[in-house]
């Protein structure tokens, strides 16, 4: 599947950001401005991990000769960080090739002006030449987005470590300070925060889009620090506690889901993006602090968290199983007489997203229950049957339709995440073991920073 996706990108869209596999041409997205090569940088580590070294060398040569950030263009700070900085960092740690570290640092430095705001909460969008930032015009009251400014920590800590430049660390630690000081409604983090006033915007809370990877990076900041960053640990488990109390619900049919919260009211909807939470909760389960039971005695939280993770995973699998194409919709609901089913036409699409497969990988590694591999295999079959086209893989517009209507985009995260997680799901646990690597939110593995033995690249022979 990787070869099919990569070879066709190479053939029809080389050097552009993504492949349009039906039109057989390049696809550009405004997220990266005029930066090119998103699929190449996103796929580097997957090629390496899958031992496709000749393809990796071709990609490396393109990075050396053609990857360019010196342009007058506006980019999404979050997307460029998770895909380009994250992809380059992983390629460096896997292969040991200096060019990747150099390019990651060069790009990271170009992102620093985004933090020039009264609070230090970065802008969503940045012009790489002028250093002028702004927020998405649609974001509540000119706010920055939780999942965007909260998903820089892992990459910036590695940029700090590799470059010695203290600014990388200072910038992400300052974000955390602002958040720690703010009042949180019922302990929850609203998705919108104004970078000028330091006040929350609209009270919309979500573990799916706009919120998701903020929670992921709290947990992973703790793990990547070799479990020394106690502040991150506390913030993560406190946030999860609030999510459990205020957002986690069980349907009449017995499915556990994570609802969204709008100004105190629950919307009984779960996004495909929120399905990553099964994996996150499982990954964090063994560090969960004991909670006091009703009788005042401490209760071990690990078992409860593993159970919650498994239940969420089951629900996300149901969201796939209840469709015609056996691929999950963008969002599914638990109201109006349905459970784990999309009811709105604009929520029925599947764009090759990884979150459900990502969660299968974590649950597989942490429980070895074979059902997670079975469910992963069901996804492989559905991808092969409905998303594979002659010149690559495409998303589909309606997972409840009897035949696939292709959207003609092969997303770069399909190669970075979906195929990598599938590959690892069917590999041994010592292939990128969790006690050495932490995956950024785009599935780019970053080594745990251990003192006094910090990470060095460890290329395959
Ligand atoms: C990816 O770019 C990342 O996983 C991000 O955290 C969320 N969206 C896509 C995949 O769905």
**Secondary structure of the chain as H, E, C letters:** CHHHHHHHHHHHHCCCCEEECCCCEEECCHHHCCCCCHHHHHHHHHHHHCCCHHHHHHHHHHHHHHCCCCCCCEEEHHHHHHHHHHHHHHHHHHHCCHHHHHHHHHHHHHHHHHHCCCCCCCCCEEECCCCCEECCCCCHHHCEEHHHHCCCHHHHHHHHHHHCCHHHHHHHHHHHHHHHHCCCHHHCCCCEECCCCCCECCCEECCCCCCHHHHHHHHHHHHHCCCCCHHHHHHHHHHHHHHHHHCEEECCCCCEEECEEECCEEECEEEHHHHHHHHHHHHHHHHCCCEECCCCCEECCHHHHHHHHHHHHHHHHHHHHCCCCCCCCCEEECCCCCCCECCCHHHCCECCCCHHHHHHHHHHHHHCCCHHHHHHHHHHHHHHHHHEECCEECCECCCCCCCCCECCCECHHHHHHHHHHHHHHCCCCCCCCCCCEEECCCCCEEECCCCCCCCCCCCCC
pLDDT number for residue 297? 85
pLDDT number for residue 446? 98
- Are the C-beta atoms of residues 425 and 357 closer than 8 Å to each other? yes
Mutation choice for ligand 1 from 206, 279, 329, 413, CB with most ligand atoms inside 8 A: 413
CA angle 301, 306, 307 (to 5 degrees): 100
Compute how many other C-beta atoms are within 10 angstroms of the C-beta atom of residue 241. Answer: 15
Would you give the distance in Å from CA 149 to the centre of its chain?
13
pLDDT number for residue 292? 76
- d(CA 105, ligand 1 centre) in Å: 22
pLDDT number for residue 294? 79
- Ligand 1 atom 11: the closest Cα is on which residue? 353
Distance of alpha carbon 263 from alpha carbon 461, whole angstroms: 55
Catalytic residue among 216, 330, 358, 417: 330
- d(CA 414, ligand 1 centre) in Å: 10
- d(CA 442, ligand 1 centre) in Å: 6
Query: What does pLDDT average to in each consecutive run of 10 residues of the chain (461 residues)?
Result: 99 98 95 98 98 98 98 98 99 98 98 98 98 97 97 98 98 97 97 98 97 98 98 98 98 98 96 99 95 82 97 99 99 97 98 99 98 99 99 99 98 99 98 98 98 89 71
pLDDT number for residue 300? 86
pLDDT number for residue 460? 84
pLDDT number for residue 387? 99
pLDDT number for residue 134? 98
- Ligand 1 atom 3: the closest Cα is on which residue? 442
Pocket lining for ligand 1, CB < 6 angstroms:
82, 213, 273, 353-354, 413, 417, 441-442
pLDDT number for residue 49? 98
Would you give the distance in Å from CA 61 to the centre of its chain?
27
Note the pTM of the prediction, 2 decimals.
Answer: 0.98
Question: Could you confirm whether 98 is annotated as catalytic?
Answer: no
- d(CA 446, ligand 1 centre) in Å: 17
List the structure tokens of 45. 């580590």
- Are the C-beta atoms of residues 67 and 104 closer than 8 Å to each other? no
Mutation choice for ligand 1 from 272, 273, 329, 444, CB with most ligand atoms inside 8 A: 273
Ligand 1 nearest atom to the CA of residue 417, by list position: 4
- Are the C-beta atoms of residues 422 and 378 closer than 8 Å to each other? no
Radius of gyration over alpha carbons of the chain, in Å? 21
- d(CA 420, ligand 1 centre) in Å: 13
pLDDT number for residue 298? 82
Ligand 1 nearest atom to the CA of residue 79, by list position: 2
- Ligand 1 atom 8: the closest Cα is on which residue? 273
């Amino acid at each position: 599947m990787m070869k099919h996706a990569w070879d066709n990108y190479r053939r029809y869209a080389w050097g552009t950001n993504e492949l349009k596999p039906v039109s057989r041409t390049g696809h550009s997205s405004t997220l990266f401005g005029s930066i090119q090569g998103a699929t190449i940088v996103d796929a580097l580590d997957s090629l390496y991990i899958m031992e496709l070294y000749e393809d990796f060398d071709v990609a490396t040569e393109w990075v050396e000769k053609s990857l360019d950030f010196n342009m007058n263009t506006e980019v999404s700070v979050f997307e460029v960080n998770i895909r380009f900085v994250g992809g380059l960092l992983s390629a460096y740690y896997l292969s040991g090739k200096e060019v990747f570290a150099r390019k990651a640092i060069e790009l990271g430095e170009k992102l620093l002006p985004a933090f020039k705001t009264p609070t230090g909460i970065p802008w969503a969008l940045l012009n790489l030449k002028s250093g002028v930032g702004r927020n998405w015009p649609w974001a509540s009251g000119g706010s920055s987005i939780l999942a965007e400014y909260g998903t820089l920590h892992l990459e910036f800590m590695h940029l700090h470590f590799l470059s010695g430049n203290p600014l990388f660390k200072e910038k992400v630690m300052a974000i955390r300070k602002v958040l720690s000081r703010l009042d949180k409604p019922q302990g929850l983090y609203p998705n919108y925060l104004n970078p000028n006033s330091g006040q929350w915007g609209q009270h919309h809370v979500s573990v799916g889009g706009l919120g998701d990877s903020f929670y992921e990076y709290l947990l992973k900041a703790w793990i990547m620090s070799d479990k020394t960053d106690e502040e991150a640990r506390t913030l993560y488990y406190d946030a999860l506690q609030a999510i459990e109390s205020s957002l986690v619900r069980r349907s009449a049919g017995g499915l556990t889901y994570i609802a969204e919260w709008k100004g105190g009211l629950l919307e009984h909807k779960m996004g495909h993006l929120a399905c990553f939470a099964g994996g996150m909760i499982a990954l964090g389960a063994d560090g969960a602090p004991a909670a006091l039971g009703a009788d005042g005695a401490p209760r071990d939280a690990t078992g409860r968290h593993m159970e919650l993770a498994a239940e969420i995973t089951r629900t996300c699998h149901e969201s796939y199983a209840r469709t015609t194409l056996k691929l999950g919709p963008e969002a599914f609901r638990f109201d109006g007489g349905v459970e784990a089913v999309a009811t709105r036409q604009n929520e029925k699409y599947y764009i090759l997203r990884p979150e459900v497969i990502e969660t299968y990988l974590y649950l597989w590694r942490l429980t070895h229950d074979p059902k997670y591999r079975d469910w992963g295999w069901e996804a492989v079959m559905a991808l092969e049957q409905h998303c594979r086209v002659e010149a690559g893989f495409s998303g589909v517009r309606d997972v409840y339709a009897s035949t696939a209507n292709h959207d003609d985009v092969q997303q770069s995260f399909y190669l970075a995440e979906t195929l990598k997680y599938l590959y690892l799901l069917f590999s041994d646990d010592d292939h990128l073991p969790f006690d050495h690597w932490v995956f950024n939110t785009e599935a780019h593995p970053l080594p745990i920073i251990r003192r006094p033995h910090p990470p060095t690249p460890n290329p395959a022979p």
